[in-house]
Amino acid sequence: MLQIHELFRSIQGEGPFAGRPAVFLRLSGCVQPHCPFCDTPEALGKGKSIPVEELVEQMTSGGPGLAVITGGEPFLQWESGLKELEAALLQKGMEIQYESSGRAGVPDGVQGQVVLSPKPGQWPPPSVLGKAFAVKPLMGDKPEIVLREIYRSGLPPEKIWLMALGASREEQLQRMPLLWEICTRYGYHFCPRLHILVHDRKKGV
């Protein structure tokens, strides 16, 4: 059984799988204390209890493809159903990508691709970062803060997908020229946030 907030189909908007159609599963609940700047507060509650078999059926109804599992913090439910869901989806030929802050660690044996979005001042330790396929930090008005965190993490540039902070199209566009310059200088992936550029502040797209 998993606690879920929502299940929907869309296009992955950011990171190494950007542009790909995917089925999104947003699990409920996150590590305490919750971040004061949380952009998905609706996913922090208890959510609905759905059996794993039912989720597999719904998530594979469109045939094999990409499943993006996010939250809240998805790995909090690893032992209570997520591990089982992963195995069943892989068996049905799905590709899996996790979106996680890394605050609950990354379970040993996870087979999907883990994309971490560390929160400012809460970067996970190297043992957790090292399990990530990609890391996509946010850059605000003070790039030196995120650049320091990246430097301290010891991650190679090819693992970094740097994104602009900001929930609106206007904020994204404003920060992109500097983001471009920094990615060029340090060899990071320039990571647009397509869902914001296309839909602005609209949620659940």
Number of residues engaging ligand SF4 in binding (CB under 6 A): 11
* Chain centroid offset of residue 144 CA: 23
Q: Which of residues 164-183 bind ligand SF4 (CB under 6 A)?
A: none
Please name which of 100, 119, 90 lies closest in space to residue 15, comparing C-alpha atoms.
Answer: 100
Site string for ligand SF4, 100-119 (x = CB under 6 A): -x-x---------------x
The amino acid sitting at 44 is L
Output 74 or 81, the one with its CB closest to ligand SF4.
74
Q: Which of residues 42-101 bind ligand SF4 (CB under 6 A)?
A: 71-73, 101
Nearest to 69, CA basis, from 121, 111, 125: 111
> With binding defined as CB under 6 A, does residue 34 bind ligand SF4?
yes
- Of 14-22, 35-43, 61-69, 176-184, the window that binds ligand SF4 (rule: CB under 6 A) is 35-43
Within 10 angstroms of residue 107's Cβ, the number of other Cβ atoms is 15
Whole-number Å distance between alpha carbons of 84 and 106: 16
Please give the span between the terminal C-alpha atoms of the chain, in angstroms, as a whole number.
Answer: 25
Compute the least distance from the CB of residue 148 to ligand SF4, in Å: 20
The amino acid at residue 38 is C
Is 28 a binding residue for ligand SF4 by CB under 6 A? The answer is no
Residues that bind ligand SF4 (CB under 6 A): 30, 34-35, 38, 40, 71-73, 101, 103, 119
